[in-house]
Structure 1
Amino acid sequence: MIETRGLTKRHGPTAAVDGLSFDVWPGAVTGFLGPNGSGKSTTMRMIMGLDRPDAGTARIGGRPYGALGWPLREVGALLEARTFHPGRSAYQHLAALAAANGIRRSRVDEVLDTVGLTGVARRRAGTFSLGMAQRLGIAGALLGDPAVLLFDEPVNGLDPEGVRWIRNLMKSLAADGRTVLLSSHLISEMALTADHLVVIGQGRLLADTSVAELTAGGRALEEAFFELTGDSAAYRGTDAPPAAERGRL
């Protein structure tokens, strides 16, 4: 699982993330929602050890990312689409990642097939469209067959067929018992993909609840989201048991 406790990150006088605490559990797609600038990407970067928090902790399986022995085998992430050398082919990019992380070479072909890039595996990745770059990034996240996965706006640049593919992939990964944290600005798509939601605003936790609970009474997720993220919004917890009761603090 992923745990954040009191996670805080400041940029000068501004708190990008402000005392944020939540858990992401295996076996479900947890949607990570918030307005632009709410701190979603910063939070994910701190979970992945790319940004150092000013206070608080982020742990994966009880350990900070930097303490993981073989990170790519334990955690896969797509935080930015174009994190590859543009002169390398998709195959070369993934093969280099596999070699650096002790992953069998045959796994490269498997993930290329999973993301639908087998036919362009030998093309230079720098020629890829944004949607193809997203697929390559997802292949990299899946390469080590990790139990924990983080995706920041993975549907960017994808056509409707690609968006549907992402939705089905996220659900299948969670059904395998993996921990999946998915950030997206497409609220309607999140309603179709996520089982649980963590909603933040101005770096603070606003809701930690199931999609079903947040949309109870027949209201749309979009309506509930805008109600939560208004200026007067305060934290709203629902069906998730307190962390202390779960023995996870």
Structure 2
Amino acid sequence: MIELRELTKRYGRRVAVDGLSVRVQPGVVTGFLGPNGSGKSTTMRMILGLDAPDSGAALIDGVPYRQLDRPLTRVGALLDAGAFHPGRSARAHLTALAASNDLRSTRVEHVLRIVGLTEAAGRRTGTYSLGMRQRLGVAVALLGDPAVLMLDEPVNGLDPEGIRWIRDLLRGLAAEGRTVFVSSHLIAEMALTADRLVVIGRGRLLAETTVAELAAGGDSLEDAFFRLTSETTDYRGAEAA
């Protein structure tokens, strides 16, 4: 389980995440939604120990990420689809990760099959399309067979077939009892993928609910989302700039 306890992060005078308290449960896909600049990526980075909170805590199974033993086997994450050496092949990248984390080499071929990259595994990642890099990122997240998965915009760059594939994959992983936490700006896709939703705006929790409950009353999920977040979205500063 992922648990956030009054998680807060400031950059100068700007509050990126503001007292966020959430529990992400196993066995369901939890969508993480919010307008641009709402603090989603900062929150995910704090969960993974990449950014330190100013106050509060981000815990995985009750402890911070940095205290996890063999973290790749506990948490799989996709935050940046371009985080690969362009001159290294996908197979070489995964093999190096497996060796550094004491994982069996058979896991490399297994995850390559899952993400559909077996035939392209010998190619340099610098030649990959964005969709292929996304698939490789998912392979990295799955490499340690973790119980917790965190993915930031996993369908970015995927074609319709790839989007359906990632949707089915995430729902299948959740059905196995894993914790699946997915950030996305595609509201309609979250309506098809997620069971539960965490919605934030300006770093604050706006809703922690099910997809059905948020869209109750005849609204589409998109309409319900825009209504919920309307007062936390302000692009005037960006337009003036």
Tell me the TM-score normalized by structure 2: 0.95
SS at match of 1:46: helix
1:231 positional shift: 1.1
SS at match of 1:205: strand
Q: Deviations over 1:184-209 (max 9, x none)?
A: 00000000000000000000000000
Residue in 2 that maps onto 1:236: none
SS at match of 1:57: strand
Q: Deviations over 1:141-189 (max 9, x none)?
A: 0000000000000001001111111100110000000000000000000
Residue in 1 that maps onto 2:236: none
Q: Deviations over 1:85-120 (max 9, x none)?
A: 111100000000000001000100000000000010
2-side partners of 1:130 and 1:218: how far apart?
Answer: 36
Residue in 1 that maps onto 2:145: 145
1:218 positional shift: 2.3
Residue in 2 that maps onto 1:21: 21
Matches within 5 A, 1:1-249: 1-231=1-231
Q: What amino acid does structure 2 have at the position aligned with 1:167? A: R
2-side partners of 1:171 and 1:41: how far apart?
Answer: 22
Q: Is the 8 A contact 2:187 2:221 kept in 1?
A: yes
Unaligned runs of 5+ in 2: 234-241
Residue in 1 that maps onto 2:239: none
2-side partners of 1:82 and 1:71: how far apart?
Answer: 21
SS at match of 1:120: coil
1:217 positional shift: 2.3
CA 1:88–1:210: 2 relative to 1, 3 Å? same
Q: Deviations over 1:112-145 (max 9, x none)?
A: 0000000100000111011000000000000000
2-side partners of 1:45 and 1:138: how far apart?
Answer: 17
2-side partners of 1:168 and 1:228: how far apart?
Answer: 28
2-side partners of 1:92 and 1:101: how far apart?
Answer: 14
Unaligned runs of 5+ in 1: 234-249
2-side partners of 1:99 and 1:83: how far apart?
Answer: 18
Q: Is the 8 A contact 2:17 2:43 kept in 1?
A: yes
Question: Runs ≥4 in structure 1, deviation > 6 angstroms?
Answer: none
SS at match of 1:216: coil
Count how many residue pairs are aligned between Structure 1 and Structure 2: 233
Q: What amino acid does structure 2 have at the position aligned with 1:42? A: T
SS at match of 2:231: coil
